[in-house]
Structure formats: structure tokens, C-alpha cells
Structure 1
Amino acid sequence: MPVNSSHREEVPDLPNRLGIEGIEFIEYATSRPQALGQVLERMGFRPVARHRSREVTLYRQGSMNLVVNANPDDARVSATVDGHPVLSAVALRVRDALQAHRRCLELGAWAVASHAQAMELHIPAIHGPGASRFYFVDRWQEFSIYDIDFTPIPTVDPHPPAVAGLGYFGVVQYIGCDRAADWIAYYEHMFDFRLLPDEERFGILPKGKLMRSPCGRFLWQLIEPDAGLEHDATPECLQRIGFGTPDVGAAVAALKARGVEFVESHRLHPEDRGALTRTALESVAFELVHQDA
């Protein structure tokens, strides 16, 4: 009797014990929010809401939420050097935020103290690389965290379309020398990320180690300093955001028309696989990566 080959083997799902379902928002900390806002707007983001009690602005395009934190009472903002923006947080969508937070603490993560004021949401978080944080968000479907803590900016479209289909593809993290094994173990242990084979690469900067989230919705890239360099001035930190797009060439053309400049040299130039924006404000760069729609 013919047998449907797809049922011959039941391949088990990869573990996803936190119930991760993608990225809810990525946060920059800066004491120069207007300058960073100009960079983000050239990339297609629009300011759509402001926090009710803090100097925090929500930017959005398509499915992506990006938060600019300029709250002077936040140590991550006051610690920025010369106001250069830093990637200060990634918020993960999870099934149950408190349960995910509790599990991470049981696995050895360090909790971030909550500073939520009256009538504000408590968003549980743990410490990440450098001074960054990982937040856990379970209000992202019918109701969202922005419904409570943010006030919409009048006359602004709350859901501006994405430029050339841009969406979050992943995050690049700089790590110390010989630290890849430690960080791989951390992400496997804490979040159930999976290390990809070295031959499985995306974009035009195929360095370091690449890991996939258990939900398969985004990637995490770990990059050590170049071999032979005795010292690297860059500490361990979240370095840049990767955006996926179904047409890198169209995205590059659209962003160039908006004033975005790209790195182009004999070693690196925009092509079908990906592109890299020139660094703005001494620290802000974005990578474009081909991603099927």
C-alpha cells in the first residue's frame, strides 16, 4: 500500500521552552534622540507614540517596533559616550512573560529591577551582554504594551508601511576573544537557540558564529575580534540590527533615495545577498540581508 513519505518519520520540534515567537521591539539608548530619530526616519521608521512618563519614543515601520530611550534617569542612557547611541535591549515575544523570566532566573540569569510607576506595565527583564537587557513580552496580539504605556502621536499613521518589505532578520553581537563557546552555550541553555553550520550563511558579512532562534523567526550572530589583534576597543555588546528584505537591490535603491549611504568597496558592495549602511552617529549601522517573503 502506498505510504505518504511525509508521515514515515515524525521529526520532533526543536525545544522552545520559553515559547519565543519573535522580536517585539529593539531599543536604542541615547542622549541625542533627535539625531538618532533622523537616522531612523531615513531608514523608513516613523515616530508613532511617546511614553507617558519617560523620555522614550516608539518608532515603527511594517512589523518592526523600535524604541529610542533618552530617559536621563536610565543608567544606560547616562553611560553612553558622547551621546553615541547603543543597542540597549531586545524584547522577545513569549507565551508567558513571567514564566519565561522565572525560568531564566532559575538557569542563572540576573534579574533587572523594575522601575514601573503607577498604572504602568511591569515588563520582566534579565541582563544581557554589556549593559543591555532582554525583555519578555506576552502582550503583542490583540492588546500590546504600547496600549498602556504610550500615547499615540496625533495625525501620525500608527502603522507606517515597511520600505521594500523590511523586517527584523537578526542581531549582531560583538564578543571577546575566545568567547564564542561561552556565548553559544549561553544562548543554547537560556533561550534554546541552535547553532547553524559554518557553511550556512546569509548576507555579505559571513564572520563568526550564527544561531537561529527556536521559533525560526530571527538569527543571532556572534563575532569575535579579528585574529592577530591584541586589543579590541569594542567591548562585548549588541552591535547592529539586520533587516531582511525579499529584494536587496530594491531596498538599497529605495533607501538611497531617502538619503541612506552604503558601504561600497572592492571587498564590500551592495548586491543580491546583502548590503551594509555607512555608520551614522559613530555607532549606528544596519545590515540588509536577502530573505524570502
Structure 2
Amino acid sequence: MKTSLATVSISGTLEQKLQAAARAGFDAVEIFENDFTQYPGTARDVRKMCDDLGLHILAFQPFRDGGGVPAAMHQQSLYRMAKKFEVMHELGTSRLLVCSVVPDFAIDDPELTAAQLHDFAEIAKDAGVSLAYEALAWGKYIADYDDAWEIVKKVAHPNLGIGLDTFHMFSRGCTLDTLEREITPEKIALVQVADAPLMKMEVLQYSRHYRCFPGQGEFPMVDFMRCLKAKGFDDYVSHEIFNDDFRASSPVEKAVDGMRSLIWLDRQSELPVETAAENIIDDVEFVEFAVAGETGEQMVAFLQQLGFSETHQHKSKQVTLMRQGDINLVLNREPQSQAHKHFEDHGVSVCALAFSTPAMKKVMQRAELFRCPRFTNQTGPGELNIPAIRGVGDSLVYFVDRKPVRFFELDFEPIVEPASPAASSPGLSRIDHIGQTVASVDFLSAGFFYKSLFDFSVEASQDLPDLHGLVVSRTAVSPNRKIRIPLNMTTARAASAQRFLDQTRGSGVQQLAFACEDIFAAAAAVPDELRLDIPANYYRDLEARFQLSDELIERLKANHILYDRNDQGEFFHFYTREQNGMFFEVLQRCGNYDRYGEANAFIRLAAQARAASA
């Protein structure tokens, strides 16, 4: 696949956009007219910049209101187009995107539209330019690509082809039938791809604010790409994205996201239709905390009250291991380490996640393919060199092969007599899920990181009502469902997610949820002052909704335990108070319950808000 990025898709000056596109590995760019118009240099300067960066200029765009207008306006458009050709020659590009007419002066006459587009194609022929005619989804009379194709067929000119834009196609509910049945590769003048969440709203506002990279939304992008490939299409595929968060983000980071999405789209469209997601990682191997000073030891004491104890000491570093069940929490106090840098930037926090994998080579190849920066750790003689990449925010992701030994059996030594024994054990058995809170501008990127690299599915977004605004959440889940990562963001300044981002100065793990076999025994083992208070009115509502026995209601209420039930089973869970911005959840799944107690989220968020203001 030959890759391209329309400069409108990312933030920054034209120079910054071109540099970001080149750094991400794109083959070409589309120059958006506004970016060029506000650029202080010449078209030849832009061409030289692109040449120096190794970027081909695929197209100049957009040329608006092309075809189906009053005669005098058409004559003005012919003059305007000829002037655009002069700019294009200086830029060194020979493709121009022509959009269907939007304003009320449009004329509903396909024959007239075809005749005027034929005029455009004739002057394009003389100038050596190819025109791509695109149906804007909000066009006055030409809004569907099927109708644009009918016009292109009427024109029947070698210098006019169709421009296919997946947002304009799928936002209006168009199918791929016309593309599959009639459109040949030589008549496809330009392909632009944009995904989006499925929404019902005015299409222009939908387009201007909610487009995203392929794989980040819910449009059938893979089906579209499969269709193109089946027809033998081998030209450029270009992003054209309008998104508020993209405009507020680093152009380099978003360009890398864009390249990652095209790599994903290319790979997915090569796979058989019914291919199952691949389990290239098994489970959470450990969670690493950056700890230092008094606040670090406060977190250690907090974890001890949850039943964890320091069981192992690293052979050469100031790193210890806390264990309970099959939960491994690494405490990194090493002063010369990435963890300490993370502590300096974010305070006591989770600085890394580690996933176990049965396919280490494949994981690392996948990381390289998807442009994930590697991280090299310092290791001593005979110690494991655990591969790592940059993850969400400033955190790392480690990859561990559990065979033939676990990581702590080689690099750590058992602590025979723990200096600070844990409290009575609540019987926590494994990590059920890990909640990461990210800035709104990184929400789509974070989900796609797990989707592209690890074949996680990313569930639809949900709105969780906080006392101070909405928190939006979507969960990335591994194919074997052993790794679940709810991703949360908000645009509300005082909501729980934003309080965490403010306190920790960046994205990170806000929640660790631990599974247990007996929720009431677990609650009894955790000091009451650590547990988040739940209002009594919640239990009155719970009784009314589920008709629970008085005895069970009283047990839940006495232990601040929340409850949910569906057709698959039951769910019991309680939360701790926040510690350094983080909080912990203890849960018990009964039957085949596979959700997260979302119906209780508003209770938890309100309780946390009250605790934060107390």
C-alpha cells in the first residue's frame, strides 16, 4: 500500500505537518489549500521541502463547487481552476480534488453538471492534470458516491475520475455495491479514508468533528479496502481527517497514529474474512510502581493493608516484589532508572505493565511494524533482558515469556522474613482489569494501540455520569479476555478522570481491579477506613431493582459492597479510597457475568467526588 496524509489531518504549521508525515513514514501528502495559503513561502519552497523529506505531493485540494452551477459562475470556476493548475505545477503535483456543489445556487441537472465537468476535464488535459470528482455527503444534489459515479460515466473523459472518501460514503449509509459492480481501478482518481463512530447527527458537523483514523471508529473500513484490493487497485490510500482532538495534539504523535492505522488496515484487508483475533499475549505478568520517599512508602503501606507483602528482592537493584495469589506488583525504588524519572514527572504511580506472551518474536516484530518505540533497560550479569516498548502516556509495556521460569525466579531472591508483614489476606487471586485514564486528545490513540498491536477488541464507548460532568469509557479486551483495560477520559474540568490527570500530570493507570473468590471475606480483611463509603440510599434502590433478601442487603451495606446482575450471572465489588490519585477495586464474578458493574459507576464516581472534597 502506498500511503498518504492530507495535511488538514494534523495540527501545526505546514512545515511541522510535512516533517511529521515524513517522520511517521508516509510516502506522500495531499496539500490542503488553507495550509498552503497561510504558508509564507512559495509553492516551489513547499516542493523543495517535500523533496528533501522524501515526500511525494499526491494532490492539491479541495476545489469546491465543481459542476452544476449557473453559467457565469462556471466561467469564473474555469478561470479559478486554471490558476490552481499554475500552483500545482509549481508544487509538482498533477491531481486536483473537485467537490460536488453545496450552496443553494446548485442546479439539479445531471446533464449540465456533466457538461461543466467535461469543460474542467478538457482544460485539465491541456495542463496534464487528473481530476478526482468527490460527492460531499452534504452536497446539494450530488451527495452519494453512486451519483458522482453516474456523472463521471456521463463525462467519459480520461482526465476525470471518481474520488472515493469513506466518510462521505459510510456516513450516508452507502453500500459498496456500486464500487464492487461498476467502478474500475483506472477510474479511481483518489482514495481518502476516514473512520468515525456511528452517530446520528447533522452530517456536516459529524464530518468536521468526529472523523478518525481507520480502525478507531465503526465504519466497515476493512471491507472497503478488501473491495479495492480485489479490483486490483494499487494506488495511494490517503487520510483526510477532521477531528477537534487531532487538531489539539502533537502532529508527530498523530502522524504516527495515522501510519499505524494504514498498516493495520493493510494487514486486516489481507486476512481471510473470518480470521479470529490472534492471542499473542496471555495475561498480565506484573504491574510496576514508581515509588520514592514518604509518599512511596505510604503506597507500600496501603498495599500491605490490601493483603500484599514484599516477598522478593531484586539481586542488583532497589526493586522489590509484592505478591498475593497470582498478582505481581513490582516496587521500583531504583534512583537511576526510568521508574525514578517517571516518579519525578508523575509522582507515585504505575510506570509499566508487563504482559506474558507465548510468541515473543512475533510480538516484537509486530511492535516494530506498528512504529512502537523500543525501550532498552539496564541489566546486570545473568539477569533477564526484558523487552519493552513505549505504551500509553509515559508508561512502558514489558513482554515476558513465562517459560521455563517466571521473571522473579531468576532476577529476584526470596525475602525469608518480610520486614513488614501484610495484614490478613483478603484472598485476592488475579488482576481482573486495569483502568487507564488518558487526556481526551489521546483517547482514540490509546484504544487503537491495544487493537493494532495486540489484536484486542475495543468495545463501544459508554458515558459514565460524574457529579461534575461525564466520563467517557471504552474497554480494550484481549482475545482470551484475560486482559481488560478500560480507558477513560473526560472534558469536564472537575470530573474524576481530570482530577487524576491534574494530580499525576499525565495519562496513566488510575485503577487496579483484583478478583477474589469470596467478596465478603475480602471486605472483612480490608480495614473499613480504606473502603469507599457508599450511601445507604443505594441499597434501598438495589433492593427495589433486584428484590434481594434483607439479609443480603444488610451484608452488602455493612461492607460497602456494590452489586449487579444480568442473565449471565452476578457481580459483587467494592472500592478503596484514593491513594496518590489511584484507587483499587476488589470484585467477585459469579456465573458467567462478564461486565464491570457499569450501572454502579455513577455511585462510585459520586462517592469519590465526596471523598476528594472532604
Query: Residues 438 and 506 of structure 2 are in contact (CA less than 8 Å); yes or no, is this contact kept in structure 1?
Result: yes
The structure that is helix-richer by fraction is: 2
CA drift of 1:78 comes to: 3.9
1:38 to 291, 301, 317: 301
Q: Secondary structure at the match of 1:20?
A: coil
1:106 to 346, 366, 369: 369
Give yes or no for the alignment of 1:174 onto 2:465. no
Give yes or no for the alignment of 1:209 onto 2:479. no
Aligned to 2:578: 279
1:260 to 530, 537, 544: 530
Aligned to 1:239: 510
Distance in 1, matches of 2:518 and 2:491, equals 30
Distance in 2, matches of 1:13 and 1:252, equals 43
Gap change, CA 1:13 and 1:40, over 3 Å in 2: farther
Aligned to 1:27: 288
Query: Residues 56 and 69 of structure 1 are in contact (CA less than 8 Å); yes or no, is this contact kept in structure 2?
Result: yes
* Code of the aligned partner of 1:221: P
Aligned to 2:586: 288
Q: What fraction of aligned residue pairs are identical, expressed as a percent?
A: 24
Gap change, CA 1:13 and 1:66, over 3 Å in 2: farther
Query: Residues 436 and 488 of structure 2 are in contact (CA less than 8 Å); yes or no, is this contact kept in structure 1?
Result: yes
Query: Residues 246 and 292 of structure 1 are in contact (CA less than 8 Å); yes or no, is this contact kept in structure 2?
Result: no
Distance in 2, matches of 1:288 and 1:247, equals 10
Aligned to 2:485: 220
Once superposed, what is the RMSD of the aligned Cα atoms? 3.2
Q: Secondary structure at the match of 2:377?
A: coil
Q: TM-score, normalised by structure 2?
A: 0.40
* Code of the aligned partner of 2:456: F
Distance in 2, matches of 1:116 and 1:238, equals 26
1:144 to 406, 415, 425: 406
Query: Residues 433 and 514 of structure 2 are in contact (CA less than 8 Å); yes or no, is this contact kept in structure 1?
Result: yes
* Code of the aligned partner of 1:291: R
Aligned to 2:392: 129
CA drift of 1:277 comes to: 0.5
Distance in 2, matches of 1:131 and 1:267, equals 40
* Code of the aligned partner of 1:264: I
Gap change, CA 1:206 and 1:291, over 3 Å in 2: farther
Distance in 1, matches of 2:374 and 2:388, equals 6
Query: Residues 472 and 490 of structure 2 are in contact (CA less than 8 Å); yes or no, is this contact kept in structure 1?
Result: no
CA drift of 1:61 comes to: 0.5
CA drift of 1:283 comes to: 2.9
Gap change, CA 1:225 and 1:263, over 3 Å in 2: farther
1:94 to 349, 357, 375: 357
Q: Alpha-carbon deviations, 1:222-260, whole Å to 9, x = none?
A: 101254769762522222211123443432222126x63
Aligned to 1:3: none
Q: Alpha-carbon deviations, 1:83-112, whole Å to 9, x = none?
A: 941101111010133431232122111100
Q: Secondary structure at the match of 2:330?
A: strand
Give yes or no for the alignment of 1:248 onto 2:519. yes
Q: Alpha-carbon deviations, 1:133-189, whole Å to 9, x = none?
A: 100000x25512212211111246xxx996234420111111112543222222110
Q: Alpha-carbon deviations, 1:2-58, whole Å to 9, x = none?
A: xxxxxxxxxx674125x2110111110011353332111111111111001110001
Distance in 1, matches of 2:352 and 2:574, equals 24
CA drift of 1:290 comes to: 3.0
Query: Residues 263 and 275 of structure 1 are in contact (CA less than 8 Å); yes or no, is this contact kept in structure 2?
Result: no
Q: Alpha-carbon deviations, 1:64-84, whole Å to 9, x = none?
A: 111000100013324425994
Higher relative contact order (CA 8 A, sep 6+): 1
Q: Secondary structure at the match of 2:562?
A: coil
Give yes or no for the alignment of 1:270 onto 2:561. yes
Number of equivalenced pairs: 272
Distance in 1, matches of 2:561 and 2:275, equals 36
Distance in 2, matches of 1:101 and 1:80, equals 27
Q: Secondary structure at the match of 2:434?
A: strand
Distance in 2, matches of 1:82 and 1:132, equals 11
CA drift of 1:264 comes to: 3.0
CA drift of 1:287 comes to: 1.6
Aligned to 2:131: none
Residue segments in structure 1 that go unaligned for 5+ positions in a row: 1-11
Gap change, CA 1:260 and 1:82, over 3 Å in 2: farther
Q: TM-score, normalised by structure 1?
A: 0.81
